[in-house]
A and B are shown apart, each in its own frame.
Chain A
Amino acid sequence: MPRLAGSRAAGQRGGASRGGLSRGAAKGGFSRGAAQQRKRRTCRFCDNKEIYIDYKNEKRLQRFISEQGRITPRRISGTCAKHQRQLVKALKRARHLGLLPFVADAVS
């Protein structure tokens, strides 16, 4: 119980849960930002019910690397922890086989 109350207090100051929520929404700014983030945060692999991420499917993997060849962090791609681990493994395997770059040539 005390923990629950504490977490609410962190958002707004205590009070009844209803009141706290509505006040937060009225304030705008923060709550809107949070809503946007929440909307984005779905793991693509979970959505598609994928159980294995294949290192051979380079086109699929390419979405998860930046232009420079860096692996997209979880906080941006929204991938869940389980699938991010598998994804990173697949990406690194693909890199080893020359399917994906370690560093993309920006200068060339």
Chain B
Amino acid sequence: MSKKKIYETTFIVNAALDDPQIDAVIERVKEVIVKNGGEIRDLTKWGRKRFAYPIKKKNNGFYTVVEFTAPSDTIAKLERHYQLDENILRYLTIVLDKNALKAKAAAAMQAKEADTPEQAPKAATPVAVVDEDDEESDDDVT
């Protein structure tokens, strides 16, 4: 039961800062996670994005997604840190449930397959492609 949960936290850094300053903010967040017994599994920087609506009177921000495992009390400390850091505009921390993890694993597998040259012969044989194309076109239509 005491299995550690896997969390995913997304936060938005003030995009008005310079790149090294943003990196410093991200670094500090990582530090908070690690110092409180967490372990970072994955970190993705989306970069600067425009908001759908202004947040703290700003129109864009720098998005970062961190996936990590940690004891549950780490989350409170992390969110406290988010509150204190003025350059963090918004944050969201969620627990990744098993379905999310499964979907993630599947996506990772697909990305791997796309990278390997396995796709080239598949494209050459039209018969094999048919199913895939159907699925993709469904996606586009919907």
A-B contact pairs, 15 of them (CB 8 A): A47-B138, A48-B139, A52-B97, A52-B104, A54-B103, A56-B65, A63-B142, A93-B92, A95-B52, A97-B63, A98-B12, A98-B51, A99-B49, A101-B53, A103-B53
Residues of A within 8 A of B (CB): 44, 47-48, 50-52, 54-56, 63, 93, 95-104
Q: How far is the CB of B14 from chain A (nearest CB, A)?
A: 13
Task: Evaluate contact between A96 and B138: CB separation under 8 angstroms.
Answer: no
Write out the residue numbers on chain A whose beta carbons fall within 8 Å of the beta carbon of B12. Answer: 97-98
Q: Interface size on B (CB < 8 Å)? A: 23
Asked whether, in the complex, the Cβ of A96 is within 8 Å of the Cβ of B90, the reply is: yes
A51 touches B103 (CB 8 A): yes
Q: Is there contact, CB below 8 Å, between A52 and B100?
A: yes
- B interface, by DSSP: helix, strand, loop or mixed? strand
Expressed in whole angstroms, the minimum distance between the Cβ of A22 and any Cβ of chain B is: 34
Q: How many cross-chain pairs have Cβ atoms below 8 Å apart between A and B?
A: 48
Q: Kindly list the 4 A-B residue pairs having the minimum CB-CB distance in the complex, ordered from nearest.
A: A98-B51, A52-B103, A101-B52, A51-B99
B24 in contact (CB, < 8 A): no
User: What's the nearest-Cβ distance from chain A to residue B109, in Å?
Assistant: 14
Q: Give the docked Cα–Cα distance between A31 and B94 (Å).
A: 46
- Contacting residues, chain A, for B90 (C-beta < 8 A): 96-98
Task: Assess whether A96 is in contact with B102, with CB atoms less than 8 Å apart.
Answer: no
B89's closest neighbor in chain A, by CB? A98
Q: Is the CB of B99 within 8 A of A52?
A: yes
